[in-house]
Amino acid sequence: MNAFFKHTIQHHIVPFSFTLLIIGALLGMFGSGLTSFAQDGHRRVTLPLPGTSVASVQLQKDALISTLGLAATYNKTCQPKSWDDLYVEHTKVISLPPRNRLGIDPWQEQWLVNVCGQLIPMNIRFIPSPHGGTDYVTEGPKKH
């Protein structure tokens, strides 16, 4: 099962579909390559993401849409129109398995997402699959 749909089903998250449409369109500009893009002084989106993430570039790209979409739900007044409004500012590893278990055991990272100037900490648990690839589960702060 696709990690995004697994995430969506597990957490019953549907309200950010319009935001995901915008983010998906913006990410479509990446195409199949590792590109950065920006014109007229706007923020440049590049992979790998800034910080200390140990996720591969492909895994970062895969997790980016659902992570940004979920983060956007935490700022009700923001309607992102460009990468200046919604981007990962920093990543850091929260927990990592021993070196000989990398790629076998899960690890956790926190991605700090800027949503129209509001910083939202997003926790992502990466779970290597015994069948190949890596699944992930994204969680934001508890909503009041």
Q: pLDDT tens string for the chain (144 positions)?
A: 444 434 433 443 334 444 554 555 555 544 433 334 445 556 666 789 999 999 999 999 999 988 999 999 999 898 887 778 889 999 999 999 888 887 889 999 999 999 999 999 999 999 999 888 999 999 999 876
Around Cβ 66, how many Cβ atoms within 10 Å? Answer: 25
| Domain map (residue ranges) of the chain | 3-139
The C-alpha R_g of the chain, in whole angstroms, comes to 15
